[in-house]
Structure 1
Amino acid sequence: MTGLHERHLAVSPDWLALYYRHPLELTHGEGRHVWDADGNRYLDFFGGILTTMTAHALPEVTKAVAEQAGRIIHSSTLYLNRPMVEMAERIATLSGIPDARVFFTTSGTEANDTALLLATAYRRSNQILAMRNSYHGRSFSTVSITGNQAWSPTSLSPLQTLYVHGGVRSRGPYAELSDERFIQACVADLEDLLGHTRRPAALIAEPVQGVGGFTSPPDGLFAAFREVLDRHGVLWISDEVQTGWGRTGDHFWGWQAHAEHGPPDILTFAKGIGNGMSVGGVVARAEVMNCLDANSISTFGGSPITMAASLANLSYLLEHDLQGNARRVGGLLIERLRGVTAASPAVREVRGRGLMIGIELVKPGTDEADPEAAAAVLEAARAGGLLLGKGGGHNTSVLRIAPPLTLTVAEAEEGAAILADALHAAG
């Protein structure tokens, strides 16, 4: 155990998890690579939990941060803030939400917390619909709508939460159905649920479940849900903390895979937009955003320095078509991973879209999750120079792959080869 690890354990909560038997201290990064305190170089396939969206030490972002830091770092929302207004204007346009208003926070948790505040105030209801296997943050309110046992440390809640089918395509009671019948069954379940409840405020859903193991429903499910929700006056909150900004390749936002009836009522974002800076936010149409009848500000949300970083990062992403790169390189990577894992009895499924890919591991010959195998592959991949993530319900048996969106074809091939060796070594 290193001295830093010992010091960490002495002052940190027991529940603050660290990856690896011998945890890493990352000291610097460049592009898609990072280095640890011992000088080892790694290909980064997790990007600080999908947060280093474009690249480590992207010159455009670091220059914007340095220049803004030389002027003013902080002011709060009590003063006009040009970078915040400029960023809000761009996000309002990109969101697809008509007459959009934008509120900046410091994290995805806080963004979802704000969305819940807006929805419950607007609808005068504390009842929330959420998806099974979901994750929405670590605050008291977001834990209470998280449908993932491993990330819900308390049953106490300010909200009444009811869970809906549909977030996981290949497990559960509807897994054997065709996509069309799967959607029909989930819609029927939602209709039945609404027939037994009183005035829910909103349905909150991740278009692709992140912590849940990069699972997703068939395209069109949330459009079908939207028809039902609209009849009942229930708002739709799309949690785009992990799916936003083109990561799925096919779409800029995850909700656009379900776009038949237009954008959500509320959209939340965070993670990669600041490329490592602490940025989150909420977009909603003015009627919903303006429903609060008490004062509310943010001390740190939308700070000049984080907005400068986000503006530079967003400009780089759009100018270099990183959504297109996610589609092209991600498509190649997922097919390569399916090829190298095809003969492995421990791999149940390789799934995902764009640069958001999950590899689900099971005990060979069964459908039972194998978190020990996932941990072993994580260690073996590290030894080979590749950093991965984990997730997948309470069993954490899914390897999560989400590199920066500038990933090259050569790096995708390199990562797939290391992962193939890691699966072999761990098996």
Structure 2
Amino acid sequence: MTDDLLARHRAVMPTWMSLLYDEPLEIVHAQDRRVTDSTGRTYLDFFAGVLTNAMGYDIAEVSDAVRKQLDTGVLHTSTLYLIRSQVELAEKIAKLSGIPDAKVFFTNSGSEANDTALMLATQHRRSNQVLAMRNSYHGRSFGTVAITGNRGWSASALSPVKVNYVHGGYRYRSPFRDLSDSAYIDACVADLVDVLEIATAGDVACLIAEPIQGVGGFSLPPDGLFKAMKEVLDSYGILFISDEVQTGWGRTGSHFWGIQAHDVVPDLMTFAKGLGNGLAVGGVVGRGDVVDVFNAQSFSTFGGNPVSMAGASSVLDYIRDHDLQANCLARGTQLLSGLRAAAASNEFVGDVRGKGLMIGVELVEPGTLTPSVRAAKQMLEETRRRGLLVGKGGLHNNVLRLGPPMTLTEAEAQEGLDILVDALAATKAALS
């Protein structure tokens, strides 16, 4: 990126729009799992547009599907008209969801999907009380900022809903961190019951949770937590919403949806990001009686538009035809084992966690649990210098986020791992 473009960006864009790196880059070309910046430098991409470019770049099947729709001249009609590709994709997602009698509503983003799910749940329960997880993130809209359990991303204290936060999603800094898996689950469920009995009026609309917290640093609870929580929710008639914006489509490797690791079927699921592979698409899939709750008329101008639907349907077919869920499991295992081995000799690494191709590396000051923001910043620059792009997140902005395209090859995984291990050693040397 030239200084001129950066200056122009700062002149007309909000100050709160984040840019990575000391010298932000402009991506001008991409192919497979690599991107090229405006200086001609090429990088292996381990962040994939915040997990959105799930297939990688310039995938012929996706491009062909989009081009075929463009050739019809119909880029948009709105949902006031029948859209064949929208119905066909909804049928696929409803079946894949595992939710009985499921219905689907398409949006333009994950924020809008979560906002819609909140509106459905609160209307269905006739309550504005919502439960969310500590360290969570669900989007940038007014309603989703209101349920964000992460101060670094909570842009407003104003809220259209009354929110209470419960324990469970972020184990590394939890007061229950030293408990066994079963004891941890018991403690978090007891906290949920306590919050319901003490901090709410009882008629709570829903609990919304990410199976793996994305912006929160790819943190995750033991498998089974949300099944235990849903048993409590069901006893109160409270709905459960699984935010699958980052965990959907097989990325976690072990399951197609992140929540399936907990052996539970939610009432509503939200999705976005990887389904479009760069196209703007999101949505809600849920119980028909909940999705149908509105009495007023409504529609979506851009949600479910023919171009996005054509592209998204081809993405879903590509995931299935190439068994990318299995690839996520294999490549994730490769990366996790290599990173954990490197962490054993690097005291700046506090935790290596994740599933499939959702991996978090939490950096701390040596010998402590104190978040090391300086180490995360150094790692971002060291990896870029070596030709690798990674993300950063966590409550304290001290967690490296690795979410490569789901098509990552074994050789590319090893290349990225070698760079990460070398960058960790360089960071240790620079900061010790």
TM-score, normalization: structure 1? 0.98
* Distance in 2 separating the partners of 1:349 and 1:173: 16
Which amino acid is the alignment partner of residue 308 of structure 2?
Answer: T
Please report how far the alpha carbon of residue 362 of structure 1 lies from its aligned counterpart in structure 2 after TM superposition.
0.4
Matches within 5 A, 1:8-407: 8-71=9-72, 72-196=74-198, 197-198=200-201, 199-259=203-263, 262-393=264-395, 395-407=396-408
Q: Secondary structure of 2:67's partner?
A: helix
CA distance in 2, matches of 1:292, 1:330: 41
Deviation of the 1:140 alpha carbon:
0.6
Structure 1 residue 202, shift from structure 2 partner: 0.0
AA paired with 1:334?
L
Following superposition, the deviation at residue 194 of structure 1 comes to: 1.2
Task: Using the TM superposition, name which of 192-201 and 44-53 deviates more.
Answer: 192-201
Distance 2:118 2:361 in 1: 32
Greater alpha carbon shift after TM alignment, 290-299 vs 202-211 = 290-299
Q: Distance in 1 between matches of 2:37 and 2:342?
A: 28
Amino acid at match of 1:325: N
Once residues 29 and 101 of structure 2 are traced to their aligned partners in structure 1, the CA distance between those partners, rounded to angstroms, is: 41
Equivalent AA in structure 2 for residue 80 of structure 1: L
User: 1-side partners of 2:29 and 2:88: how far apart?
Assistant: 30
CA–CA distance in structure 2, aligned partners of residues 245 and 384 of structure 1? 30
Between 1:230-239 and 1:166-175, the stretch displaced more is 166-175
State the one-letter code of the partner of 2:418: A
Equivalent residue of 2:115, what SS?
helix
Aligned to 1:390, the other structure's residue is in SS state strand
Q: How many angstroms apart in 1 are the aligned matches of 2:195 and 2:18?
A: 36
CA–CA distance in structure 2, aligned partners of residues 365 and 62 of structure 1: 50
Q: After TM superposition, which residue ranges in structure 1, 4 or more long, deviate above 3 angstroms? A: none
Identity of aligned residues (%): 58
Q: Can you give the 5+ residue segments of structure 1 that lack an aligned partner in the other structure?
A: none
- Name structure 2 gaps, 5 residues minimum: none
- Structure 2 distance, partners of 1:169, 1:332, is 23
Q: Distance in 1 between matches of 2:337 and 2:184?
A: 25
SS of structure 1 residue aligned to 2:384 = helix
Match for residue 415 of structure 2? 414
Q: Report the CA distance between 1:170 and its aligned residue.
A: 2.2
Amino acid at match of 1:400: R
Which AA in structure 2 matches 1:284? G
Alpha-carbon distance in structure 2 between the residues aligned to 1:21 and 1:125: 46
What is the alpha-carbon distance in structure 2 between the residues aligned to residue 84 and residue 133 of structure 1? 34
Superposed CA RMSD = 0.8
SS at match of 1:195: helix
Task: Give the secondary-structure state (helix, strand or coil) at the position aligned to 2:44.
Answer: strand
**3-state SS in 2 of match to 1:236:** strand
SS state of the match for residue 360, structure 1? strand
Question: Letter of the aligned partner of 1:213 in structure 2?
Answer: G
User: What letter matches 1:160 in structure 2?
Assistant: K
Distance 1:137 1:84 in 2: 24
Give the whole-Å Cα distance in 2 for the aligned partners of 1:172 and 1:317. 35
1:2 counterpart letter in structure 2: D
- Does 2:430 correspond to 1:424? no
Structure 2 counterpart SS, 1:348: strand
- For residues 11-65 of structure 1, the C-alpha deviation after alignment (integer angstroms, 9 at most, x for no partner) is 0000001001111100111111110011111000000000000121111001111
**Residue 413 of structure 1 aligns to a residue in which SS?**
helix
AA aligned to 2:355 is: R
Q: Distance in 2 between matches of 1:366 and 1:294?
A: 55
TM (normalized to structure 2)? 0.97
Shift of 1:201: 0.1
After superposition, the C-alpha distances for 1:285-319 in whole angstroms (9 at most, x for unaligned) are 11000011111111000100000100111101100
